[in-house]
């Protein structure tokens, strides 16, 4: 045992390993920060580089890209309201308002620290309880996936503020967009106006359109107003005390991220929205959400980075890749002659523990590298609007092209940009549409699979305990404001009758 | 635009869109099969269409009720609205919000048109310079920065990330 521990430590702290962790992180953060390029693309791009490396160096390089890529998405989400990856869409909701208030430094710092916290949390869960978590996650069938997605969709009600109906309309539009493409069950076509829509609408160009292009057009109105005006800017981060005061939120969000990550086929985007919703529900300052809440950023970032270690749970313990990144990682493992699965822990214990521990190291180095990047990127807020707009147009157009190397995606981004601008003019919130686009596909395909499983009996969603649990908390979260209202009225009535008596 | 007008437009648009889905888009653009799986490819879109109609109707009713209430309050307070008129001037227009929005939107469309025809490098440079000129930026280094940024992005995407550029 001691011999194995020594061997693990010596390979983890070798110069090669440390160098590749940092290289991977550096590349990952840059790729994640560029709109249109995701952590998945980063891992896929760098995988050929690992052919000639030894196994540990290759894997830590890819893990660095993965973790860095997920974190990097938050940088542009906060600074220019352009989430680098879909997983950072929830971060933009509070990060961008903070950057506009001149608190970009604080927002970026919280995002970094929360990302590291979420990453470390899931790495520890991977180390300590991987087999147990994997077995529980595997009990999920289409029925549970549907109720989980339904629970995720209830966030629409809480982020729509005073525009509940408009939020629901936006949500319906998002669900409709998720229907475009080949039907997930029957394989027939739905709303395929162009052949490029066969595989549906890609979330990345849609998000660039809805968030970034809409913001660019809106921001252009302040070109003359901001002339000569010096943008308020503070590079100051968050104090350690203030950060740790959010520990219940961080723990809850990291746990959500870890749980969602362990369930194959869900992913970082779903987890960040779910955690954001739960953070808002539990917060004492609900009114701050959407206006620059640090709790919102912390929830979203710790949850999406919480996914990074958790996605390795089904991969390493059962050999099941839960998403595209882990599918690529599975390829990298097999290339090195290792087949992940239940036997891996007994045949290659040293390798598996080295990988698990390297994830902790990756997250610690991310804190150091992140500090460096935050200092550089925070300067974006100093760029005058007149110069920023052409730069952003360039970046967004190229980003929407690069996600699939398709000119059609540029057109999609523009269409969504115009739609988003009209929605803003009509006071229709944009985020419900993005959430519905992400969760719509999971909800619909699994609902239909669930109904098919039960031969058309919809009661299946209420008879399985995990599904019933999610449906109940979804219903509770929807009805909570109404219940609270009636309880308040009842109490007020009781108090006034007491006074009269 | 007042909140009531916005709500009315949203409500009407939602109802019309829901109806167009039910009458035209779903029957003509969704290929259905026999109900082998108890649900059809058009089940979800139909639910969305109906929801859009219902939500639009609720929003419209809410808007009319608010308008009715506000009218009652206004008639009690007396009408204080005043109309203003102004003649068009180019000088004022080029500093207006409408001009800025139009210039940005036009540049984005131009980007899309040029990208497939002349490639990214030319498109990026032309559109960035066009937008700066439209905003009447007089600082020469702004032009240098946007052109340099276009080249930098090209280098990152094409050379480092190996993206096949248009």
Is residue A71 within 8 Å of residue A111, measured between CB atoms?
yes
Residues 233-272 of A with CB under 8 A from B: none
The predicted structure's pLDDT at residue A344: 76
The predicted structure's pLDDT at residue B126: 95
Dist CA A470 CA A442 (whole Å): 15
Dump pLDDT digits (tens) for A308-329.
888 888 888 877 777 778 888 8
- Which among A185, A386, A417 has CB closest to B137? A386
Residues of B in contact with A192 (CB under 8 A): 29
ipTM for the complex shown:
0.90
A427 inside 8 A of chain B by CB: yes
Q: Which residue has the higher pLDDT, A39 or B47?
A: B47
pLDDT at residue A248 tops 80: yes
Most B CBs within 10 A among A394, A397, A423, A426, hence the mutation to make, goes to: A394
Dist CA B160 CA B157 (whole Å): 6
Kindly state the average pLDDT of the residues A225-252: 76
Is residue A76 within 8 Å of residue A392, measured between CB atoms?
no
Taking all residues of chain A, what is their mean pLDDT, rounded to a whole number?
A: 84
In this structure, what token pair is assigned to residue B157?
A: 């995407």
Most B CBs within 10 A among A39, A162, A172, hence the mutation to make, goes to: A172
Tell me the Ramachandran region of residue A455: left when phi exceeds 0, alpha when psi lies from -120 to 50, beta otherwise.
left
Average the pLDDT over each of A42-51, A221-230, A253-262, A429-438 and give the range with the smallest value: A221-230
**Residue A162, φ and ψ in degrees, nearest 5:** -80, -10
Identify the helix (H) or strand (E) that includes residue A448: helix A431-453
Kindly state the average pLDDT of the residues A334-346: 77
The predicted structure's pLDDT at residue A290: 85
Kindly state the average pLDDT of the residues A467-476: 87
In this structure, what token pair is assigned to residue B78?
A: 């007396």
Dump pLDDT digits (tens) for A125-164.
888 887 777 777 777 888 988 888 888 888 777 777 677 8
Most A CBs within 10 A among B5, B37, B62, hence the mutation to make, goes to: B37
Residues of B in contact with A176 (CB under 8 A): 21, 45, 48
Nearest 10 degrees: Cα torsion B44, B49, B51, B53: -170
Cβ separation of A394 and B103 shorter than 8 Å?
no
The predicted structure's pLDDT at residue A166: 92
Dist CA B85 CA B61 (whole Å): 32
Per-domain boundaries in chain B: 3-77, 91-160
- Which among B37, B105, B146 has CB closest to A390? B146
Dist CA A45 CA A327 (whole Å): 14
């Amino acid at each position: 045992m001691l011999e194995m521990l020594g061997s693990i430590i010596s390979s983890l702290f070798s110069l090669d390993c440390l160098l590749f962790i940092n290289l991977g992180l550096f590349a990952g953060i840059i790729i994640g920060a560029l709109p249109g390029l995701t952590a998945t693309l980063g891992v896929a791009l760098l995988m050929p580089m690992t052919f000639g490396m030894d196994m540990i160096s290759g894997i830590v390089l890819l893990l660095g890209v993965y973790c860095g890529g997920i974190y990097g998405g938050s940088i542009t989400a906060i600074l220019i309201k352009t989430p680098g990856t879909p997983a950072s869409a929830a971060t933009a909701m509070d990060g961008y308002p903070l950057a506009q208030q001149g608190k970009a430094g604080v927002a970026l710092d919280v995002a970094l620290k929360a990302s590291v916290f979420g990453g470390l949390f899931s790495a520890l869960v991977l180390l300590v309880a991987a087999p147990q978590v994997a077995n529980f996650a595997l009990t999920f069938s289409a029925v549970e996936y549907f109720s989980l997605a339904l629970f995720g969709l209830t966030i629409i009600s809480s982020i729509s503020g005073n525009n509940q109906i408009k939020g629901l309309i936006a949500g319906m539009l998002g669900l409709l967009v998720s229907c475009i493409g080949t039907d997930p069950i029957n394989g027939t076509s739905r709303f395929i106006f162009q052949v490029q829509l066969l595989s549906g609408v890609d979330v990345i160009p849609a998000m660039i359109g809805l968030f970034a292009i809409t913001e660019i057009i809106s921001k252009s109105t302040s070109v003359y107003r901001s002339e000569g005006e010096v943008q308020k800017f503070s590079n100051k981060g968050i104090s350690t005390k203030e950060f740790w005061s959010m520990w219940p939120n961080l723990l809850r969000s990291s746990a959500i991220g870890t749980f969602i990550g362990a369930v194959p086929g869900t992913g970082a985007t779903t987890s960040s929205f779910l955690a954001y919703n739960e953070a808002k529900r539990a917060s004492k300052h609900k009114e701050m959400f959407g206006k620059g809440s640090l709790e919102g950023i912390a929830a979203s970032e710790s949850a999406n980075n919480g996914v990074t270690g958790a996605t390795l749970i089904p991969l390493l313990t059962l050999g099941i890749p839960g998403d595209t990144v882990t599918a690529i990682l599975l390829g990298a493992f097999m290339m090195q002659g290792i087949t992940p699965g239940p036997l891996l822990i007994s045949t290659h214990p040293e390798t598996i523990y080295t990988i698990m521990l390297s994830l902790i190291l990756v997250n610690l180095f991310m804190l150091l590298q992140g500090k460096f990047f935050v200092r550089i990127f925070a300067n974006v807020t100093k760029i005058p609007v007149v110069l920023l707009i052409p730069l952003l147009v360039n970046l967004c157009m190229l980003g929407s092209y690069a996600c699939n190397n398709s000119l059609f995606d540029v057109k999609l981004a523009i269409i969504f940009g115009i739609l988003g601008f009209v929605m803003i003019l009509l006071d229709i919130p944009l985020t419900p549409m993005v959430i519905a686009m992400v969760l719509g596909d999971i909800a619909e395909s699994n609902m239909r699979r669930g109904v098919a499983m039960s031969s058309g009996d919809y009661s299946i969603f209420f008879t399985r305990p995990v599904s019933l649990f999610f449906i109940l908390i979804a219903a509770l979260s929807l009805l909570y404001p109404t219940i609270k209202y009636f309880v308040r009225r009842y109490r007020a009535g009781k108090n006034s009758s007491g006074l009269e008596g | 635009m007042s909140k009531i007008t916005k709500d009315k437009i949203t409500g009407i648009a939602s109802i019309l869109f829901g109806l167009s889905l039910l009458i035209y888009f779903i029957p003509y653009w969704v290929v259905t099969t026999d109900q082998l799986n108890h649900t059809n490819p058009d089940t979800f879109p139909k639910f969305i269409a109906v929801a859009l109609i219902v939500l639009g109707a609720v929003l419209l009713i809410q808007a009319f009720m608010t308008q009715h209430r506000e009218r009652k309050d206004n008639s009690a307070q007396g009408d204080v609205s005043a109309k203003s008129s102004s003649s068009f001037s180019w000088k004022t227009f080029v500093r207006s919000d409408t001009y800025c929005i139009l210039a940005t939107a036009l540049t984005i469309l131009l980007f899309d048109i040029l990208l497939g025809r002349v490639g990214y490098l030319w498109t990026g440079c032309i559109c960035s310079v066009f937008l700066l000129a439209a905003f009447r930026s007089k600082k020469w280094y702004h032009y240098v920065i946007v052109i340099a940024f276009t080249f930098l992005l090209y280098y990152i995407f094409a050379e480092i990330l190996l993206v096949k550029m248009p």
